[in-house]
Structure 1
Amino acid sequence: MSPHAELVSRLRAAWLSGKTRPMEYRVAQLEALGRFLDEKQQDILEATAADMRKATQLDSAFIRKDPYGVVLIIGPWNYPINLLLVPLIGAIAAGNCVVMKPSEITRNVERLVAETLPRYLDEDCFAVVTAGVEETTRLLENKFDYIFFTGSPSVGRIVMTAAAKHLTPVTLELGGKNPCYVSDSCNVQNVARRVAWGRFFNAGQTCVAPDYVLCSAEMQEKLLPALREAITEFYGPNPRESPDFGRIVGDRQFQRVQALLHSGHTAIGGQTDAEERYIAPTVLVEVQQNDPVMQEEIFGPILPILTVDSVDDAIAFINARERPLVLYVFSSRKEVVNRVLERTSSGGFCANDTIMHMTIPSLPFGGIGQSGLGSYHGRSSFETFSHQRSALLRGAGRETLNTPRYPPYAPHRLPLLRAATETKRRATCLLL
């Protein structure tokens, strides 16, 4: 292992241990940084003088929310209207011009948006582009001032690479394998209904759906009949005939999801129909960590269950993988919920329910790491599409107040310089 890799590994181990999370630890480290600045002040001045030879009050300072300019929004196919228009609302509110690229997989929605939306918006500032993979690649060659993409991590990397050529900022709303830990202390029927709803809504084609369950072997025995009962309650004895159960969006996606059914053992469901692109609500047990169903986001109506011995084992399992878009935990014990919350990292977190966290407008929605970059929803949508422009408005007069900052510098002028620049608060330091 190289020295750099060893260093990063050591720091990551410390971070995973939870050492940096307590407030007392953070305060202590900030106080230590303050001592460094106080105790090494003269050394810092001498070092900066040797390297660079350098050494607000009565003004108006503020942050102005400016639009970025011309924004590109690339929407997905699983919620083709919502996930295109919600970011569009934020972009419009922030004052941008927008190019929208709906998914080519949902052709009817793509055609509807392309043909009708421009009639409602100012065509000088808003446009819809219909494009497949090749055309989208060429579209990304253009310089945009901001790019908002919702889709898979693999395509997200392509979008980010294209954006990097122009140093264009991005928001990437990606997916991932969202864990759902079910502790032994919970109402099994409630858990089953809420997990089944979150997993099988839209035939599982939801980026925030619980992707797999972690629980004890004892809880699995209780959970299976409760899940079977919930599925029957929602979709009847034959979900294929239910008007409330969806279908996989396309043939290629159907074949991919169908192949995942070979993982583990089918405890519930498993029926398929290629002509209808139907896959029944399915629960898999005896799933292994290296099975295909555990290697990628499922994005279909399949729920694997893996058994763990304790909450700590569940936390270790989650932390050994990429950080998910959302993490779910079910428990009637607050200490269990807080333990999972404090010792893991994810884009979002939801206890004792699924999906509902993203319906609260005051909560920013987004991923972390491989599950995404940036956030939106509610006010956060406006913030995402706004550049926070720092501004200082200084009067043209009162030049005598500026005299201490001008060279030539002398030690006796240092107190005046500090008085003219520092903010009046305890333990203030100024880095020039």
Structure 2
Amino acid sequence: MNRFQPLLDRQREFFFGGASRSLAWRLDQLDRMERLLRENQQALCDALYQDFRKPPFEQLFEITVPLGVIGYYRKNLAELMAPQPVAIPKGLEATGNRGVVHKEPYGVTLVIGPFNAPILLLLDPAIAALAAGNTVVLKPANTTARVAALLAELVPRYFEPEAVAIVTGGREEIASLLELPFDFIFFTGSSAVGKVVMRAAAEHLTPVILELGGQNPTVVDETANLDIAVDRIAWGHNAISGQWCIAPGYVYVHRSIADDFIARLKRSLAAMYGTDPQQSPDFARMISAHDTERVASYILPGKVVHGGRVDVADRYVEPTVLYPSTWDDPAMQQEVFGPVLPVLPYDDFDAMVETVMRKPKSLAAYIFSKNQDHIDDFLGRVSFGGGCVNQTNLHCWIDSLPFGGVGYSGMGKYYGKAGFDALSNTKALLVGNPDTVLDVFPPYAGKDIAKNLSVFSE
């Protein structure tokens, strides 16, 4: 028997008991999660630093965002749970029928988190699942070992195992979990592993949300405010040492301003991280020596216009800018997921957008421009999960903006109401008047069939 089968059985039996469907139970789980975060904030931040030297701002970000999501659900949960009336054809309404939508929990939800935001991207989906009335099995990333160990210690303190449980380990544990018929799976990670998760889910027809990645395009046209653009791109690309699924993956800049853009970008990077970013308290480390070597292999010395230094033992890759890059370069063949930024010049906006449009769909995209025609053209033709205009990254902090990918970069959206809806089954109901006759039944001879059917379309 699968060693995690008893855990699944325990949570499923609890779910069948119906307690998780109540508003009181859901609010209690949110309160428990809030206490876990608030009462252990420093320990969680320390663990983030120990795993890969995450700087203080990025540490607190992982605490404050889930707390904000909890606040949203606490304020809005009763309304989200309430049955929602919907319009139906007037003919049916006139005969005493009404339409209503109920949101019901799926059941036992498996949440598999990534290493780059090992608290935020594990707990945010769990918070949405609990708000929707599901039970949760958490699987934190094993590469952030200290965070995983701390969460494995804390979760049983704050939650009953039939409500929220945690499983630690690596590939073997994930493989065993994926053999089981969970009611919903939420995975955040690479596209390659996302395919594995989806194949496993297909065996049980389990619905999934996949938060994946890809090369996120960024466009800077000749009308852009360059000082604004370079600061936001420099920070957006290099936060978490570039290990951010929504980080700008490459920049297309109009050739007429390319040299100026590069010069300002270099100044911005120096202002943020100093002349020796390895000593900066605000620059994180790569998650492993292997990933350090992987990202270092994308650096073409002849194209380095800033940075380029690597220290594998320290898991350090300097913030690096490559120019002029082309689609044949190693850094353009996949998501870099590190602090190496390819910059490509373009001459013709339409041709550039045509190129981007035909690449695999990304999780995010960004454009810096004051030309509304350019903005509209880019947004209208390029498919991506979400993004910003004259900004980077911040869209993923806002609970009113559904967050998620499309195509290669994932499927499904969450955050706020979108998260509640995604982790709930939409149960649509037509509620009929028990005393009103609606004759649509055989025998049909002698009946005005068209008149009877008209109630469905009027």
Bin the TM-score by the shorter chain.
Answer: 0.7 to 0.9
**1:159 partnered with 2:194:** no
Which residue identity is paired with 1:126? V
Q: Quick one: which of 145, 148, 156 aligns to 1:107?
A: 145
CA–CA distance in structure 2, aligned partners of residues 358 and 260 of structure 1: 27
CA–CA distance in structure 2, aligned partners of residues 91 and 344 of structure 1: 31
Within 5 Å, which residues of 2 pair with 1:93-104?
Answer: 93-104=131-142
For residues 223-247 of structure 1, what are the alpha-carbon distances to aligned partners after superposition, in whole Å with 9 as ceiling and x for unaligned?
Answer: 1110111011111121111100111
CA–CA distance in structure 2, aligned partners of residues 415 and 381 of structure 1: 42
Q: Is the 8 A contact 2:221 2:369 kept in 1?
A: yes
Aligned residues: 365
For residues 206-256 of structure 1, what are the alpha-carbon distances to aligned partners after superposition, in whole Å with 9 as ceiling and x for unaligned?
Answer: 000000001122222011110111011111121111100111011111111
Within 5 Å, which residues of 2 pair with 1:279-290?
Answer: 279-290=317-328
Aligned to 1:429: none
Shift of 1:415: 4.2
**1:126 partnered with 2:164:** yes
Aligned to 2:362: 324
The range that moved more, 365-374 or 246-255, is 246-255
Q: Is the 8 A contact 1:341 1:349 kept in 2?
A: no
Aligned to 1:422: 456
Aligned-CA RMSD value: 1.4
Q: Any unmatched runs of 5+ in structure 1?
A: 1-55, 425-432
For residues 24-59 of structure 1, what are the alpha-carbon distances to aligned partners after superposition, in whole Å with 9 as ceiling and x for unaligned?
Answer: xxxxxxxxxxxxxxxxxxxxxxxxxxxxxxxx3312
For residues 164-208 of structure 1, what are the alpha-carbon distances to aligned partners after superposition, in whole Å with 9 as ceiling and x for unaligned?
Answer: 000001000000000001101112111111110100111101000
Q: Quick one: which of 398, 402, 409 aligns to 1:360?
A: 398
Q: Is the 8 A contact 1:70 1:98 kept in 2?
A: yes
Shift of 1:393: 2.7
CA–CA distance in structure 2, aligned partners of residues 258 and 226 of structure 1: 24
Q: Is the 8 A contact 1:263 1:293 kept in 2?
A: no
3-state SS, counterpart of residue 322 of structure 1: coil
Which residue identity is paired with 2:378? V
Q: Quick one: which of 284, 292, 304 aligns to 1:266?
A: 304
Shift of 1:307: 1.3
**1:212 partnered with 2:246:** no
Q: Quick one: which of 236, 242, 251 aligns to 2:274?
A: 236
Which residue identity is paired with 2:331? V
For residues 327-375 of structure 1, what are the alpha-carbon distances to aligned partners after superposition, in whole Å with 9 as ceiling and x for unaligned?
Answer: 1111111121111111211111311110011122111001100001001
Aligned to 1:251: 289
**1:413 partnered with 2:451:** no
Q: Quick one: which of 200, 215, 223 aligns to 1:185?
A: 223
In terms of Rg, which structure is larger? 1
CA–CA distance in structure 2, aligned partners of residues 415 and 190 of structure 1: 63
Given the superposition, is the C-alpha separation of residues 315 and 264 from structure 1 closer, same or farther in structure 2, using an over 3 Å criterion?
Answer: farther
Taking structure 2 as the reference length, what is the TM-score of the superposition?
0.78
3-state SS, counterpart of residue 248 of structure 2: coil
For residues 103-149 of structure 1, what are the alpha-carbon distances to aligned partners after superposition, in whole Å with 9 as ceiling and x for unaligned?
Answer: 00100011011111221122222110112112211110000111000
Aligned to 1:392: 430
Q: Is the 8 A contact 1:264 1:291 kept in 2?
A: no
Which residue identity is paired with 1:212? Y
Which residue identity is paired with 1:282? T
Shift of 1:297: 0.3
Within 5 Å, which residues of 2 pair with 1:375-390?
Answer: 375-390=413-428
CA–CA distance in structure 2, aligned partners of residues 291 and 263 of structure 1: 12
Shift of 1:412: 4.0
CA–CA distance in structure 2, aligned partners of residues 263 and 65 of structure 1: 55
Shift of 1:388: 0.1
Tell me the percent identity. 41
Taking structure 1 as the reference length, what is the TM-score of the superposition?
0.82
Q: Is the 8 A contact 1:263 1:291 kept in 2?
A: no
CA–CA distance in structure 1, aligned partners of residues 316 and 363 of structure 2: 26
CA–CA distance in structure 2, aligned partners of residues 317 and 139 of structure 1: 40
Q: Quick one: which of 331, 351, 354 aligns to 1:313?
A: 351
Shift of 1:66: 0.2
CA–CA distance in structure 1, aligned partners of residues 170 and 370 of structure 2: 48
CA–CA distance in structure 2, aligned partners of residues 186 and 123 of structure 1: 53
Q: Any unmatched runs of 5+ in structure 2?
A: 1-91
3-state SS, counterpart of residue 100 of structure 1: strand
CA–CA distance in structure 2, aligned partners of residues 59 and 144 of structure 1: 36
3-state SS, counterpart of residue 245 of structure 1: coil
CA–CA distance in structure 1, aligned partners of residues 393 and 117 of structure 2: 14
Which residue identity is paired with 2:145? R
CA–CA distance in structure 2, aligned partners of residues 312 and 112 of structure 1: 50
